[in-house]
Structure 1
């Protein structure tokens, strides 16, 4: 299982997130996606702990908790869905800039 952590402060770092979740168990991985254009965090993360029971306890206790001035949304991560099909030009690798 993996945990989705949303509504994070843009000031939160991987180290900060690891510290918070280490109170619930051994943190195996933290992924903090960054915005390609701005280079800053996108406001959410994914966390993996070593046991499902640890993750369940972290979700129960941290969902809705205030941290760094924001109310976190913490729940079980869902598999990524393809939001929109890619165009033929995207699949072929060609790029046509818009002016």
Structure 2
């Protein structure tokens, strides 16, 4: 009887060892059925609320209508940016972030307008234009949930 218990313990240990050794962990060994839909396509989390495909629309921030400007020359000054954007309406605020080590502009700015009409016109007219010999790109800093389309 003692032999039977020892043999059973040995078999249980062997089964346990096989189970542990055959189990794979890590990124490459995840359950594929859980990560795919029935059609075999991978599932991903969506940032655009699942809608997608539509044109991005602006959303008002707490302060006003904010444009995100990229491609700014590193030596651009606040006055240069305000001068270019003030042609299309009253600029409430300009945020130019500077590199702490060099003291130069990091290449982007946030421009705030009081009304959507002014901000929309500025974005439309200044997109792809040159400011200090460098092409700038103007987009909305905030877009409505579900309408944004990633590039």
After TM superposition, is the score higher than 0.5? yes
Number of residue pairs the alignment of both structures matches: 79
Matched, 1:39 2:103: yes
What are structure 1's unaligned runs of at least 5 residues?
80-99
In structure 2, distance between residues paired with 1:34 and 1:4 = 15
TM-score (norm 2): 0.50
In structure 2, distance between residues paired with 1:10 and 1:37 = 13
TM-superposed deviation, 1:78: 3.8
Equivalent residue for 2:76, pick from 12, 26, 35: 12
TM-superposed deviation, 1:30: 0.3
Residues 22-33 of structure 1 aligned to structure 2 (within 5 Å): 22-33=86-97
What are structure 2's unaligned runs of at least 5 residues?
1-64, 144-151
Q: Deviations over 1:20-69 (max 9, x none)?
A: 11100001000000112222110111000121110000001101011211
Aligned partner of residue 33 in structure 1, secondary structure: strand
TM-score (norm 1): 0.74
Q: Report the RMSD for the aligned CA atoms in angstroms.
A: 1.3
In structure 1, distance between residues paired with 2:85 and 2:120 = 12
Aligned partner of residue 56 in structure 1, secondary structure: helix
Give the number of the structure whose residues are more often helix, by fraction: 2
- 2:122 match: 58
In structure 1, distance between residues paired with 2:82 and 2:131 = 13
- 1:97 match: none
By relative contact order (CA 8 Å, sep 6+), the higher-ranking structure is: 1
Superposed structure 1 runs of 4+ greater than 2 Å apart: none
